[in-house]
Chains A and B, each alone.
Chain A
Amino acid sequence: MNEERDPVQALVVRARSGSLEAFEGIYRACQAGVYTFILSQVREPELAADLTQQTFLRAWEAFPRLRQAGAFRGWLHRIAANLVRDEVKSGRVRLEVPQSQLTDGELPEPAAERRDGPEHAALQSELRRHVWRALDSLPADQRAVVVMHHLEGMPVTEIAAAMQVRPGTVMSRLARAREALRQRLSEYVEAEAHEM
């Protein structure tokens, strides 16, 4: 992870001095993480894209207030989280979706994952959709930590900084999320676990 982050840290140092080229490098490296994080919260691609842009614009303006280049990713996510919170406060977006609006559908057969070829790829894609849907059913704060931890690979301390909570709270949210998702995906994960 450090090897991946070092280039971003170097870019952050240059971007703080006003290099738009370095800032573009940061954008290329971090945009997917920020966009996915926001999308997991607001669930609307267009709004998520707009808030992603706003996140980077604010980051550019707020660079003088960033104390450590190494804290950049957590700091960037905090900006994104604050923008999402503003949207929620204004009533333009809802973080929680009633369970009745979530549909489960049928999960693919576990054994299919071990096959190769286009069928395997299609089943994997279908499975991912199910996992996303299950993720959608979680409370917003759990969705946030799952995306940052599992998809972006952020360490717990960095997530804690982004969410402005204690690391223990992040661990607890991850555990509750894992528990809930295990229930929601039980048809798949239990069948497979028993095969072990």
Chain B
Amino acid sequence: MWKRKPMRCDEVRSQLADYAVGGLGRRRRAEISAHVETCQACRADLAALARTGELLSDLELESAPAHAWDSIRYRLQEKSRPTHRRAWESGWIVAGLALAVLVVAAVTFLPGLKPEPETVVAVQVDAEMQASLEGHLAAVWSAPLADAAEVGLRLDSLEDDS
């Protein structure tokens, strides 16, 4: 069976920190373990790395200033207040919009409230028509019943046609 060559010191040392923090694969860890058992220099290196880890773990966490929570709570409460005011204001905005929609709907759909549209017909008047109109107006002015008489005559002629 093929057997791997034992690791040299320089190979071990280049990976000793990874080994010390619990890294590397199982096989490589086993190889390094076997090496440090027999090599005093590498064992001392590993011990120094382990001691460094202990020094780090001996450090203590620093606390934030004592008043920090009060400040956070105050800011959270401040943030929640405008939220309530906005909700209150937005309620009035919604009510106002609803009222506006109701007014528009009432004006649009209720017959009594709907204003009559004004019909404007644009007529292009040329010189010939202008003269005819003026003649007609003069006739109407001088004989107010002429229009009615003409309408009667026209109706008679329509009845005759049918």
Chain B residue with the shortest CB-CB distance to A56: B72
Q: Is B47 an interface residue (CB 8 A)?
A: yes
Q: How far is the CA of A175 from the CA of B53 in the complex (A)?
A: 10
Q: How far is the CA of A154 from the CA of B63 in the complex (A)?
A: 17
Give B residues with C-beta under 8 Å from A: 17-18, 20-23, 44-45, 47-53, 55-65, 68-69, 71-73, 75-76
Q: How far is the CA of A185 from the CA of B51 in the complex (A)?
A: 10
Interface residue total, chain A, C-beta cutoff 8 A: 48
B75 A57 Cβ-Cβ under 8 A: yes
B44 A53 Cβ-Cβ under 8 A: no
Chain B residue with the shortest CB-CB distance to A152: B61
**With A53-B72, A193-B51 known to touch, is A178 a contact of B17 (CB < 8 Å)?**
yes
A residues less than 8 Å from B75 (CB atoms): 53, 57
Q: How far is the CA of A169 from the CA of B94 in the complex (A)?
A: 54
Per CB-CB distance, the 5 closest pairs between chain A and chain B, nearest first, are: A193-B47, A32-B61, A150-B56, A35-B64, A175-B17
A175 B55 Cβ-Cβ under 8 A: no
B61 A33 Cβ-Cβ under 8 A: yes
Q: How far is the CA of A135 from the CA of B57 in the complex (A)?
A: 12
B26 to chain A, nearest CB (A): 14
**With A175-B20, A185-B52, A193-B48 known to touch, is A52 a contact of B59 (CB < 8 Å)?**
no
